[in-house]
A and B are shown apart, each in its own frame.
Chain A
């Protein structure tokens, strides 16, 4: 069996005394697309934030692209470079232009020279269809455009894995599809993706697997068709019915 992209075994996460993640076991293969859903506060963000050590887990193992996530700073940096992340609130750097946002990390951490980094950045900005905004500041862009820049910025590091934490939930409805289109394109090229989202259309279309979480546990998982049309667990059924009736 080939080494999976992400392997999480018997992982527990506490916020102080609060048990946020309970005995998480999860393997995500290279090239696999996984959608995580679940009610608010169920630990979805916490789970993917543990993968690149934005949150520290207290027990169990996390291995990303063969690198164990431990207290070794080099390992952490290595994993962060291999796993790009896209946030709900974009988190672009407001004091830098779009292009500078995209070039910063490659130049600083991969020691690529600036002209090379700029070429790559422009390539990805074209991929997300906003090359003409390269010299603007994030504050001058719409939410959808900012999120596409955030995706391009992460891709400039040439990551093996992309983590998305509700990338469309801060967006106005008319901008959601432009971001989802970019994500679908990425999926079709074979990127390993872990995506927290409630966009069920997107999940059906690109996910290989849908994971349902509640109260810090993985309750149910399966292929999208089976998951949506034939959920086994009562809570999954309840959750799905609430989403549909929305």
Chain B
């Protein structure tokens, strides 16, 4: 097919010209903005790299530094607090492996081969169990480290994965109950979902962390951390249930009818026909929900947990380092950015791959 006529290709220069320098006004605007961007970028590079102090334990140098570059020394000195919180220093390798395991679990869940409940569920349960055993110890000759001493990124990961592991099955159950043929079940579920969704997450956390112990009998209160995770999971489940329900409603009625006509029972229809397709339909909002959940974990600081955010603040909160708060926040921000940005890029990739909207 050599004789197919190609549209004439604009040269790079002519396109730039047409886009940014078409008129005199365009030219002025372009130049001004280019100068502005260049200045901001240069200042940033100057601050973050050229004039920065990287070496650990260089607080004194930073303090005397007249150029005012970034003091990454606070990060290189105290990064362990950000990642592991108050976890005992000699045991922090456990916390590191635990985090790596959970991150690996999250990455593996993104591989299509794992996309069935039969594979995802064991993956997460085993991953979570390994995480817990490593962190908590008390088995296999590992010294025990109680939840009070967990902190930093590993606590954030623990809360996030606990919320997901508990919240996702709960969301499925909620979505199914809300679709129930018995009106009183469907209505009650709808009421519960809408009520919880209309409450601020903070109030739910306070309820679970602080109010619940007064209400529940002593034996049932459990650790505050787990109550908070349950609160998170409930909140997550109510939003995710609506997302799943949306995915179900997008299914043509013929799908369930065909499954019925083949003699498949309710659970088979749900497990093999309805949910797999509902999740496919609902993939973009589901990933969005995970992104939100990652970010919301930092709310736990308010009730006294040192997640990655609070640990960062603590790490730069000593008299020795209190001038380097910004550097610490940038570091913590970068950690969040890595997680959230890769999640949302992955979501965009999936949308393209599955052609959501096309099929």
Contact = CB atoms under 8 A, between A and B. Distances in A.
A91 B257 contact: yes
B261 A52 contact: yes
A157 B268 CA distance: 16
Interface residues of A, number: 27
Nearest to B272: A104
Contact of B258 (A83, A87, A108): A87
Given A95-B280, A139-B359, A109 B268 contact: yes
A94 B261 contact: no
Given A94-B277, A94-B359, A95-B276, A109 B254 contact: no
A30 interface: no
Pick the most buried of A73, A78, A80, A150: most chain B CB atoms within 10 A of its CB: A80
A211 interface: no
A87 B257 contact: yes
Contact of B262 (A94, A109, A139): A109
Contact of A108 (B255, B268, B280): B268
Contact of A104 (B255, B261, B262, B359): B262
A202 B301 CA distance: 73
Contacts of B122: none
A154 interface: yes
A77 B262 contact: no
Interface string A22-54: 000000000000000000000000000000111
Contact of A157 (B255, B257, B258, B262): B262
Interface in A71-100: 73, 77-78, 80-81, 83-85, 87, 89, 91-95
B263 interface: yes
B352 interface: no
Contact of A77 (B254, B258, B265, B359): B265
B145 interface: no
A87 B259 CA distance: 12
Nearest to B268: A108
A76 B255 CA distance: 18
A192 to B, nearest CB: 16
A191 interface: no
Nearest to B253: A91
Given A95-B277, A108-B272, A139-B359, A80 B254 contact: no
Nearest to B277: A95
Contacts, number: 64
Interface in B75-106: none
B168 interface: no
B295 interface: no
B66 to A, nearest CB: 64
Contact of B254 (A78, A89, A108): A89
Given A89-B254, A91-B254, A95-B277, A54 B261 contact: yes
Nearest to A77: B263
B263 A93 contact: no
B264 interface: yes
A85 B260 CA distance: 10
B254 A105 contact: no
B273 interface: yes
Pick the most buried of B255, B258, B263, B276: most chain A CB atoms within 10 A of its CB: B263
Contacts of A12: none
B257 A108 contact: no
A105 B255 contact: no
A54 B260 contact: yes
Given A94-B277, A104-B272, A80 B263 contact: yes
A57 interface: no
Nearest to A86: B261
A85 B359 CA distance: 24
A235 B9 CA distance: 68
Contact of A105 (B252, B257, B264, B277): B264
Nearest to B276: A95
B150 to A, nearest CB: 40
A67 to B, nearest CB: 12
B273 A87 contact: no
Contacts of B265: 73, 77, 109
Contacts of A148: none
A157 B264 CA distance: 11
A110 to B, nearest CB: 9
B113 to A, nearest CB: 15
Nearest to A81: B263
B255 A91 contact: yes
B359 A80 contact: no
Interface string A96-120: 0000000011001100000000000
A104 B260 CA distance: 12
A159 to B, nearest CB: 9
Nearest to A89: B254
B258 to A, nearest CB: 4
A52 B262 CA distance: 10
28 contacts: A54-B257, A54-B260, A73-B265, A77-B263, A78-B263, A80-B262, A84-B261, A87-B258, A87-B261, A89-B254, A91-B252, A91-B255, A91-B257, A91-B258, A93-B259, A94-B277, A94-B359, A95-B277, A104-B262, A105-B262, A105-B263, A108-B264, A109-B262, A139-B359, A153-B262, A154-B261, A154-B262, A157-B262
* 7 smallest beta-carbon distances between A and B, as pairs: A91-B258, A105-B262, A81-B263, A91-B254, A85-B261, A80-B263, A109-B263
Given A54-B260, A54-B261, A77-B263, 9 more contacts: A81-B263, A87-B261, A93-B273, A105-B262, A108-B268, A109-B264, A109-B265, A139-B359, A157-B262
